[in-house]
Amino acid sequence: MPPAAGELAGARGGAEAERVFIGAGCNRVVNNVSWGACGLVAFGAQNAVALFSPLRGEIVTTLPGHKAAVNCTLWLPTKKDVLQVQSRETHYLLSGSSDGAIMAWKIGSGIGKWSHVLQLPAMHKKGVTCLAGRMVSDRVSIFASTSSDGMVVIWEMVVEPTAGGCCKVSCLHSLSVGLKPMVSLSLAVLPEQEGCLILAMGGLDHKVHIYCGDQSGKFIKACELKGHSDWIRSLDFSLPVMTSSEKHSLFLVSSSQDKTIRIWKMTSDVQQRKDNIGMASYIEGPLFVAGNTSYQLSLESLLVGHEDWVYSVEWQPPTLLLGGEAHQPMSILSASMDKMMMIWRPEKNTGLWINSVTVGELSHSALGFYGGHWEPDGKSILAHGYGGFFHMWRDVGLDSENWQPQIVPSGHFAPVSDLTWSRSGEYLLTVSHDQTARIFAPWRSHVNPGDVICWREIARPQIHGHDINCVAFVQGTGNHRFVCGADEKVCRVFEATLSFLRTLQEATLLKPDNEDFDDVQVLGANMSALGLSQKPIYTHGKESPSSASNDGPDSMETIPDAVPTVFTEPPVEDQLAWNTLWPESHKLYGHGNELFSICCDHAGKLVASSCKAQSAPVAEIWLWEVGTWKAVGRLQSHNLTVTQMEFSSDNAFLLSVSRDRHLSVFSIKKTEEGAQHHLVTKHEAHKRIIWACSWNPFGYEFATGSRDKTVKIWCVQDASSVKLLATLPQFRESVTALAWTGRDRARNAGIIAVGMDNGLIELWSVSGGRAASDSSSDLSPFSVACMLRFDPLLCHVSTVHRLRWQKPDSADEKAAIELSSCGSDHCVRVFAVRDT
């Protein structure tokens, strides 16, 4: 995929930023995913529309614009419009959100550019739940949208034939379906009827409703199909199929929460159909007239195989024959909450529909798949499910089918609350309200190390029962360790496993650091069925046989033992969820409320933590000694929740900011008995909540950011007070994240990254003031200037929660440094920032 518009933020004042990685989970709703004829997969990631390339297995971009969660997406032309797809350079993407808005996007597949075309007129008062459409000519598409407000709206999209032509969308008609809204739609062109369309809709009344209409958008109800005994969750029309003794027939497949799939056949030659009853018998259904032809709908087959709600059914996309005619394969993909996807095909001799392929996942979650989708050429299938994950299988068999898992993007499916680089900067650890901690790293190819490096999720060290709010890596020597806090009163300490260290070596292709492997006796970790603690699996321990159960390994009664594995290629979802846990080594008790913020000093000797608080005693900052994990200090200053803390580069000071609008600086000195500390100063720094703070790596300057939309830069003077050095011009939104990195020690120059409540990120250059080596009287003018405002296509679409600079590997000012960010839009992003 060529670089896309918005992947590179243009230089302004000496810097440019390039997108390196986006990690995001899929919104957990039906109809959220659409695999387009252009080869890209679109899905909703909170308020953004994300696009990922199945070939590379990574997210290409996110499209901002929606103000509420994205529920559904639709590509035009669709995979069924094979005649219109040929040599087409421009594709359009429609997205509907939970506030009733529908947006259209223009995607240049050949050159990889995308742009926001328009927002459709507001016709829905509640969330849009499904979009379905077809192209009726090279320029005109008809599509329908349904909403929980009980309305189905018919739209027309007209595209100018020129490359830079505009797109016009107009509302043709709206249908009111009553108190029980429709949740699934499918639109098709009637066989042998130029310009006649058929619309199927299903929902809460257990019936499939058939409407007939034309390109003017006027649809009238033709009939109802009864049979399902629960909500209709998915509908899909095939292309017209020519059977042996009949004219073209149209097939409709429906799935329901009654765990069944029904195939309906619509034929125009009613008399001949009645005279030709074979083994694949049918139940006579309703007759209706469309145009100058009468049609009969009958039940062709009832498919029973899934053990839970069937959320999705989809016909295999048609192929284009040599004569320019579209051929519809008789193959259906179904996805269910039983964690299985099945491919159904008619048996050659009898014509009976049977399940020919079954794929699925083994997970500790009781819930499974929300949708299944075919690749346009039918060689791959994609599922998305309850954990915000994707699964993709590809048929790699030569003589017979052999469906194998493929690499897909992954990420959190809830707001990402915190992130931190590992102590050497080779990987990124993130925590989220989806109750997981995940590790992302660049994975280098073993075959061609010079190939493009793709970031992958390589481990999931923690799967928890509470939303995780904060995390910090323990710096210094020894094994990789981190401390995290969640919506509980306990801090938990985790240590890396031997299998992870070896997997990391495989990913980075770096020679192992001996100290990483010395004395690491823990191979992996296991999670008990009803517990929160992850127990170690030792390298020389006896393997306890997993208890047998008639209910199967993924039942609620038992959970299979983890199998710690060294991965030589990026792990897939099943492996991440089971085999990459880290053991919990310690619990730190002391706080009276849920943990909110945590940090570690640069020597790896002290950890500071804070919790949610509404009074001074609860707002204490606790200091913990690394190793013994004893509480060695309780710092009192603030009256409300301490929102962020950070140690100065020489560990002499601890800076804290709070909801009480004050900043505090503590003097910290590590001793043999623990730690000595005293309050240097407490200062009311802002008019609103202070969300963020960050130290200058070269000295005692620091920055604070607040809901009052300002960033202020301060300096510690004489170890007894703070002085305001500068106030940046007021921002348009609340400042929620800050990160300061150094670039030139001699000039005390650096870059401050500023993240805001609207998701945007800015870079500011700072220099001057007092350098770390200067005496207290040597002050040079302190200057600040905006270097770069990131392109919105690069940024988050809602609150930025944390920004972190990777430790620079080189003293070269021109060398690229990586900036990581996370936010409430469920996304983790990594940027390469270069001075120009």
130: enclosing H helix or E strand: strand 128-135
Structure confidence by residue, pLDDT tens digits, 42-54: 999 999 999 999 9
Q: How far apart are the first and last CA of the chain?
A: 25
Q: Edge-to-edge strand order for the sheet containing 595-600?
A: 595-600, 606-611, 621-625, 631-635
pLDDT digits (tens, 9 = 90+) for 348-372: 888 899 999 999 887 666 578 999 9
- In this prediction, residues 13-41 reach a mean pLDDT of 90
Q: Is 770's pLDDT higher than 60? A: no
Quick one: pLDDT band at residue 394, thresholds 50, 70, 90? very high
Report whether pLDDT(575) > 90. Answer: no
pLDDT higher than threshold 50 for residue 3: no
Pairing of strands 293-304, 260-267: antiparallel
H/E stretch holding 58: strand 58-63
18-22, 271-275, 507-511, range with greatest mean pLDDT:
18-22
- Can you give the pLDDT at residue 543? 41
pLDDT computed for residue 547 by the predictor: 33
Average pLDDT over residues 203-208: 92
Residue that wins the pLDDT comparison between 316 and 811: 316
pLDDT (mean) for 627-633 = 91
Residue with tokens 């034939």: 161
Q: What tokens does 493 get?
A: 């300490």
Average pLDDT (182-208) is 89
Residue 380: pLDDT above 50?
yes
Q: Does the pLDDT at position 283 exceed 90?
A: no
Confidence tier at 409 by pLDDT (50, 70, 90) = very high
pLDDT > 70: percent of the chain: 85
Where would I find the beta strands (DSSP E) of 350-503?
353-360, 369-374, 380-385, 390-395, 403-406, 416-421, 428-432, 436-443, 454-463, 468-473, 481-486, 490-495
pLDDT of 9: 47
Assigned token pair, 498: 């031997």
For residue range 720-765, what is the model confidence (pLDDT) as tens digits?
788 999 999 999 999 999 999 998 888 888 999 999 999 999 999 9
Question: What are 680-719's pLDDT values in tens digits?
Answer: 999 999 999 999 999 999 889 999 999 999 999 999 988 7
**pLDDT bucket at 545, cuts 50 / 70 / 90:** very low
User: How does the average pLDDT of the chain come out, rounded?
Assistant: 85
Q: What is the dihedral of CA 339, 340, 341, 345, to 10 degrees?
A: -160
In this predicted structure, what is the pLDDT of residue 556? 34
Given a cut of 70, whether residue 272 has pLDDT beyond it is no
CA nearest to 77, candidates 135, 164, 34:
135
Residue matched to tokens 């048996």:
347
User: Comparing C-alpha atoms, which of 255, 223, 406, 423 is closest to residue 334?
Assistant: 255
Strands 595-600 and 260-267: unpaired
Least confident of 23-37, 155-169, 493-507: 155-169
Phi, psi values for residue 573, rounded to 5°:
-55, -50
Task: Using CA atoms of 733, 736, 739, 740 in order, give the dihedral in degrees to the nearest 10.
Answer: 60
Total length of the chain: 836
Reported as a pLDDT band with limits 50, 70 and 90, residue 516 is: low
Q: What is the largest CA-CA distance in the chain?
A: 104
- CA 406 to mean position of chain CA atoms: 17
Neighbours of 823 (CB within 10 A): 28
Question: What is the tens place of the pLDDT at every residue in 481-515?
Answer: 999 999 999 999 999 888 888 888 888 876 655 45
pTM for the structure as a whole: 0.90
Q: What is the pLDDT of residue 2?
A: 35
What is the pLDDT at residue 524? 65
Q: Where are the beta strands (DSSP E) in 177-259?
A: 182-189, 196-203, 208-214, 219-225, 232-237, 241-242, 248-256
Separation between Cα atoms, residue 581 and residue 686, nearest integer Å: 41
pLDDT confidence of residue 4: 40
Separation of alpha carbons 745 and 692, rounded Å: 24
Q: What are the angstrom distances between the C-alpha of 133 and each of 23, 136, 145, 254, 799?
A: 30, 9, 9, 17, 34
Whether residue 126 contacts residue 149, with contact meaning beta carbons closer than 8 Å, is answered with yes
Return the pLDDT at 304.
94
Which residues does 446 contact at the CB level (< 8 Å), separation at least 6?
Answer: 506, 509, 568
Residue 7 has pLDDT above 50, yes or no: no
Look at residue 392 in the predicted model and tell me its pLDDT: 94
pLDDT above 50: residue 163: yes
Mean pLDDT of 448-470: 84
